[in-house]
């Protein structure tokens, strides 16, 4: 018997990043992002003023986690920097690594930083009304390089899942985004370590699409 779900509409407020009819939400406070940034001393210096403040938050509509279904929502990220490095999300790869994602800019000036399993980097600016396609297999993280909130809508297959450890195991993403002479610039992350061939082939494996533990 088919279980029929009720169609839903969610109103998005681009100015605040709020989404009506959300089924869930979460916030990342500054303290939750310890270890993400290159400049640990700058992070410590900001702890007193920023500690409990929200760096980014997500409201989502998650009907089910069944293959073929969709999860969508809105993310809002505050502007700011730790040292010279812009505020960013933790970043992830989809546990079902062949699952893609769409981001749609609503407000502000952001970047989508993407890294392939082999360590190739792509950086795409996302502004209001920019649609950004994150293809399967790319690790992705969003970065706020503007002076205002960055608000984006996202949508991905409901069975994607999110794997965070792949970034930590490599010593971070291969590029960091910092202030440059004219806006932002990407610099190499000296702590980055390449993934071994076994992990890369496991990520691409057709039979086992789940990120290895
Ligand atoms: Fe994602």
> Does 115 show up as a binding residue in the annotation?
no
Q: Please list, in sequence order, all residues whose beta carbon lies within 8 angstroms of the beta carbon of residue 35, skipping any fewer than 6 positions away.
A: none
What CATH number labels 19-203? 2.60.120.10
52: Cα separation from own chain's centroid: 20
> Does 109 show up as a binding residue in the annotation?
no
> Does 92 show up as a binding residue in the annotation?
yes
> Does 127 show up as a binding residue in the annotation?
no
Alpha carbon of 181 to ligand 1 centroid (Å): 31
Q: Please list, in sequence order, all residues whose beta carbon lies within 8 angstroms of the beta carbon of residue 192, skipping any fewer than 6 positions away.
A: 119, 170, 171, 172, 173, 174
Region for residue 205 given its phi and psi (left: phi exceeds 0; alpha: psi -120 to 50; beta: otherwise): beta
Q: Which of 108, 110, 114, 90 is nearest to 37 (CA)?
A: 90
User: Which two tokens mark 173?
Assistant: 């993403």
Alpha carbon of 139 to ligand 1 centroid (Å): 8
Residue-wise pLDDT tens for the chain (213 aa)?
567 889 999 999 999 999 999 999 999 999 999 999 999 999 999 999 999 999 999 999 999 999 999 999 999 999 999 999 999 999 999 999 999 999 999 999 999 999 999 999 999 999 999 999 999 999 999 999 999 999 999 999 999 999 999 999 999 999 999 999 999 999 999 999 999 999 999 999 855 556 665
Buried b (16+ CB within 10 A) or exposed e, 173-189: bbbbbbeeeeebebeeb
Q: How far is CA 179 from CA 7, 109, 186, in A?
A: 44, 14, 9
Q: Where are the domains of the chain?
A: 19-203
């Amino acid at each position: 018997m088919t279980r029929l779900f009720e169609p839903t509409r969610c109103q998005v407020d681009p100015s605040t990043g709020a989404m009506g009819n959300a089924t869930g939400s979460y916030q990342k406070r500054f303290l939750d992002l310890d270890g993400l940034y290159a400049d640990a001393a700058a992070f410590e210096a900001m702890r007193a003023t920023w500690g409990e403040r929200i760096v980014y938050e997500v409201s989502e509509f998650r009907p089910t986690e069944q293959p073929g279904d969709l999860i969508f929502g809105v993310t809002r990220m505050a502007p700011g920097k730790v040292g010279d490095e812009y505020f960013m999300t933790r970043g992830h790869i989809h546990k079902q690594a062949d699952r893609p994602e769409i981001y749609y800019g609503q407000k502000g000036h952001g970047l989508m930083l993407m890294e392939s399993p082999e360590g190739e980097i792509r950086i795409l600016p996302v502004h209001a009304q920019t649609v950004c396609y994150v293809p399967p297999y790319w690790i992705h993280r969003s970065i706020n390089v503007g002076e205002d909130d960055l608000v984006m809508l996202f949508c991905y297959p409901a069975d994607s899942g999110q794997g965070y450890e792949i970034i930590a195991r490599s010593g971070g993403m291969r590029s960091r985004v910092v202030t440059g002479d004219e806006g932002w610039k990407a610099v190499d992350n000296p702590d980055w370590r390449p993934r071994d061939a076994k992990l890369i082939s496991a990520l691409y494996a057709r039979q086992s699409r789940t990120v290895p533990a």
